[in-house]
Every structure is written in C-alpha cells, then in structure tokens.
C-alpha cells in the first residue's frame, strides 16, 4: 500500500479515516507462527481489544488465528465473525461472576485471575475446566501504565498465593487446564521474558492436568525507523526449545499459546486526517487537523509516538511542525516534527494506527467516529461507515421539564383567548 493509494482512499472515503493493510497483518501473523514452528501445538489468540472490527477478526480467522477477549461483548463479536467458541479464550479482570458464567456457558475457555472468583466458580461449576492467570511479578514493560506483571498490579493471581490456589482446586475438585501470564507491553529484553516463563513453567508443573500454557503478549513493534523491537525470531528459538523440554518432562505435548494485539495490527494501521489550518506563532508552526484525541488518543494518553507524513506533498522541503487536533483542550499529536512542507488541505498520515486507536475513539466534542477501510488484494473496502448525526442522538431520551408544562398551558390559554375574541379560530 503506497502513499498514493492512501491519498486516493482519503479522496474517496473522506477524512479522517482509518486504513488497515491486510497484507501487513497476515505477514506479522506468519512471522510469529514461523518463529515458533518447532512447537507442535501453537495457538495464537489475537487480542480483540486492539482492533475489534469484525472484518479484521475474519481476516485473522482465515489465517488460523484464535481470539483473546476481555469482555462478553468481544466474545460475541468473535462469534459473529465466525469463530467457534472453542477458539476463543476469555481473560477478564474485575468482571462479575455472572458474566464469567455466561461466557463459560457459551463454550468459551475462561481464564480466571483472582482467588475469590476461582473459589465461587469452582464450587458452582466443578466440571468446567478453567485457565489460571498467574502474576509472576516480573516487569517487562517500559511504560508504567501498561506493565501488568509487577508486585502492585491488579492483574493475575500472585505466585505467592499458589498454595492457597491449590487448596481451592483441591476443595472444589475443579480442573485447571491452562496456565497463563501477560506481563505487559513492550518486551525489549528477551531474557526478562524467559525469566518470567521459567516461573510459569515451575507453576505449571504443580498442575497435573494441563492442556496449554499461555504466555500472553507484550511484543514491542517499531514506531520509527531504527526503533528497537522484540526479536520474535530469537524469542521463538529460545522459548520453543525450552517449551519442548518442559513438555517432555511433563509427559504431555501441551499447546503453547500467545495473545498478541499490537504485534499483529499496529503497523498495519494508518490514520489519515486533513490539515484545516497552518498557524504560525512566535515559536512554532502549528498544523491543525480535522481530528483530535477523540479519534487517536494514544499520544495524549500514553505519550506514544506516531510517525507523521504529509502524503499530499511527500517530496516537499522538510520543515518543523507541531501537529495538533481540533479538541478544545491540549491536543497534540506530535511536537517539533520534521514533515514535508504542509499546506492547508493536505492529508497527513499517522503510522502505527492499527492497535488501540479506533477501539479507543470516542464522540468527545460531539464529533463522529471515523470510517474504517481495509486494503486487501490491492483494493480498498469500507469496513465501517463514518458515523452520522443520528448516531449522536440514537440513545438520547429527552426529559420533560416544568417549564415545558408551563409553556404548554400558556400556549393553550393564549389559543382560548384568541378564540374568545373571535379574531381567529384555530
Ligand atoms: C491487552 C492484552 C493483550 C494484548 O497485548 P498487546 O500488547 O497488544 O500485544 C494480551 N493479553 C491480555 C490478557 C491483554 O489484556
């Protein structure tokens, strides 16, 4: 997908718009499965929350992917996209027992991350096998908002609580068929990940009836040229060997699972927006676009970096810009960026806009959420319409106020007076 293709899509579908490159999603999927080709049973559970459009889910289903979900609504989207419940794992945090039961009744693999729910669920449904989410207390992530394996994290059952966990399993006679961890985003140091994996193996060896071990995700992708990323190939080589060794000792060929979100879809996404205004101030030049953090919140929320290109004037002389949105609050996409000269009306492309971009979009400032387009086999397909004014009003219900009643009475009496005066008969 070239800059020209993107420009044509902005012309056809308007701006702002999200565009996803199917080929990139497929090649990332293959990269991951190739890296772990030494493992007999590999299962990739795509993390739906990264990008939940059902056409993206279908694309991944066709590659052989399964799903990782965090809400019953994501489970239902997966089912609509054609996934059999057995191909879905549900890894919620802090949801009600009722929702977990409802998902389990659909035949979806449930992953439980606290002892209270485990005890209640096991007592009521000893025949439904569950996976256990362990917190190995290893911090893999770089950004404290997205590191979930450390000691104060709300995620997972602490490895220090394993004796209690084993007692619950024993008391309820439930079956634990999987062990899981998800240490957070942005794994850079493979040794840290392998260290966490050792903790998981040690935990797994205490459960005799496992089918799988799920190593979660957190693979880092490059955001700009020269950026470091998780070395998937090296991880694949080292973890596969260790996993196969573990299975031999365990006496059973287990399934190795992962739950990548960002790794599969981040780089496939491009967010296109139009420059409404170029504004020179005393210290900088602002390029103000027809979007804001209502559509792409990651720069403001996580301070994340998205490369910005002017696809309308790619050969233009580079200048420095602060690219900002139209929201009436600080709304900065990039400060002091070198971008090919921008004119009002130009289309800017924000790279790495596949994961946690559209799914975090809102209607703040009463704007419509953008359209989504899939680029597949050299052609663009609309996979979500831009919202319309009806969408903003859809669930609103107008209240009735005293003033309305008073004015109705006034209107009625005014009418009566007119009739009595015999001037007008309404
Ligand atoms: C969000 C999430 C993932 C995906 O993380 P990425 O960094 O996008 O790969 C995987 N597993 C669980 C349980 C998650 O909550």
- The third-level CATH classification (topology) of the domain covering 36-265 is TIM Barrel (3.20.20)
The residue length of the chain stands at: 426
CA distances from 61 to 44, 56, 87, 109 (A): 10, 9, 10, 17
Q: Is the CB of 185 under 6 A from ligand 1?
A: yes
Residue 147 and residue 141 in contact, taking contact as beta carbons nearer than 8 Å:
yes
Q: Is the CB of 92 under 6 A from ligand 1?
A: no
- Ligand 1 geometric centre to CA of 368 (Å): 27
Q: Does residue 13 have a known ligand-binding role?
A: no
Do you find a cis peptide bond into 16, omega within 30 degrees of 0? yes
The residue whose CB lies within 8 Å of the most ligand 1 atoms, and thus the one to mutate among 188, 218, 268, is 218
* Per-residue pLDDT, 144: 47
Q: Does residue 149 have a known ligand-binding role?
A: no
- Ligand 1 geometric centre to CA of 216 (Å): 7
- Ligand 1 geometric centre to CA of 282 (Å): 43
Q: Is the CB of 119 under 6 A from ligand 1?
A: no
Q: Cα(279)–Cα(119) distance, rounded to whole angstroms?
A: 60
Residue 181 and residue 216 in contact, taking contact as beta carbons nearer than 8 Å:
yes
Q: What is the pLDDT tens value at each position of the chain, 426 positions in all?
A: 999 999 999 999 999 999 999 999 999 999 999 999 999 999 999 999 999 999 999 999 999 999 999 999 999 999 999 999 999 999 999 999 999 999 999 999 999 999 999 999 999 999 999 999 999 887 655 554 445 556 667 889 999 999 999 999 999 999 999 999 987 656 778 888 898 899 999 999 999 999 999 999 989 999 998 898 999 999 999 999 999 999 999 999 999 999 999 999 999 999 999 999 999 999 899 999 999 999 999 999 999 999 999 999 999 999 999 999 999 999 999 999 999 999 999 999 999 999 999 999 999 999 999 999 999 999 999 999 999 999 999 999 999 998 888 778 888 877 776 666 655 544
pLDDT 10s digits, 295-327? 999 999 999 999 999 999 999 999 999 999 999
Residue with tokens 């996803």: 20
Sign (positive or negative) of CA dihedral 60, 64, 69, 73: positive
Q: Cα(317)–Cα(7) distance, rounded to whole angstroms?
A: 19
Q: Cα(275)–Cα(288) distance, rounded to whole angstroms?
A: 6
Q: Does residue 218 have a known ligand-binding role?
A: yes
Ligand 1 atom nearest to 185, measured from its CA = 7
- Ligand 1 geometric centre to CA of 42 (Å): 17
Chosen CATH of 269-393 out of 3.40.50.1170, 2.40.37.10, 3.40.50.970, 2.60.40.10: 2.40.37.10
- Ligand 1 geometric centre to CA of 135 (Å): 14
In this prediction the pTM is 0.93
Question: What does DSSP say about strands 318-324 and 66-69: parallel, antiparallel, or unpaired?
Answer: unpaired
Neighbours of 426 (CB within 10 A): 6
Domain residue ranges of the chain, discontinuous segments joined by +:
36-265, 269-393, 402-426
pLDDT 10s digits, 323-378? 999 999 999 999 999 999 999 999 999 999 999 999 999 999 999 999 999 999 99
Ligand 1 atom nearest to 217, measured from its CA = 9
The residue whose CB lies within 8 Å of the most ligand 1 atoms, and thus the one to mutate among 68, 143, 155, is 68
Hey, which residues are catalytic here?
A: 328
């Amino acid at each position: 997908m070239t800059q020209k293709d993107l420009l044509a899509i902005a012309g056809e579908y308007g701006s702002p718009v999200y565009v996803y490159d199917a080929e990139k999603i497929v090649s990332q999927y293959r990269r991951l499965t190739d890296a772990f080709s030494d493992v007999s049973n590999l299962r990739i559970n795509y993390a739906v929350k990264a990008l939940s459009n059902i056409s993206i889910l279908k694309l991944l289903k066709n590659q052989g992917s399964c799903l990782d979900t965090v809400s019953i609504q994501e489970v239902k989207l997966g089912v609509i996209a054609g996934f059999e419940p057995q191909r879905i794992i549900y890894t919620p945090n802090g949801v009600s027992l009722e929702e977990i039961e409802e998902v389990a009744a659909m035949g979806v693999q449930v992953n439980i991350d606290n002892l209270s729910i485990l005890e209640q669920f096991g007592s009521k449904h000893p025949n439904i096998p569950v996976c256990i989410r362990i917190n190995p207390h290893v911090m893999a992530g770089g950004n404290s908002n997205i590191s979930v394996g450390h000691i104060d994290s709300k995620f997972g059952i602490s490895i220090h609580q394993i004796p209690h966990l084993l007692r619950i399993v024993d008391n309820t006679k439930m079956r634990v068929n999987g062990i899981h961890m998800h240490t957070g985003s942005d794994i850079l140091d493979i040794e840290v990940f392998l260290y966490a994996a050792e903790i998981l193996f040690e935990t797994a060896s205490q459960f005799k009836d496992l089918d799988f071990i799920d190593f979660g995700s957190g693979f880092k992708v490059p955001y700009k040229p020269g950026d470091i990323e998780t070395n998937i190939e090296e991880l694949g080589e080292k973890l596969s060997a260790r996993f196969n060794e573990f299975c031999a000792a365990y006496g059973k060929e287990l399934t190795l699972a992962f739950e990548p979100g960002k790794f599969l879809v981040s780089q496939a996404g491009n967010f296109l927006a139009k420059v409404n205004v170029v504004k020179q101030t005393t210290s900088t030049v602002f390029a103000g676009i027809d979007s804001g953090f209502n559509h792409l919140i990651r720069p403001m929320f996580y301070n994340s970096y998205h490369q910005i290109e002017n696809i309308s004037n790619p050969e233009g002389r580079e200048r420095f810009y602060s690219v900002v949105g139209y929201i009436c609050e600080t709304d900065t996409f990039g400060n002091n960026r070198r971008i090919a000269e921008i004119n009002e009306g130009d289309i800017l492309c924000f790279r790495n806009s596949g994961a946690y971009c559209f799914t975090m979009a809102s209607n703040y400032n009463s704007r419509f959420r953008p359209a989504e387009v899939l680029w597949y086999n050299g052609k663009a397909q609309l996979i979500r319409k831009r919202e319309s004014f009806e969408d903003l009003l859809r669930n609103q219900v107008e209240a009735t106020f005293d003033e309305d009643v008073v004015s109705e009475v006034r209107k009625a009496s005014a009418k009566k007076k007119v009739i009595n005066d015999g001037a007008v008969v309404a």
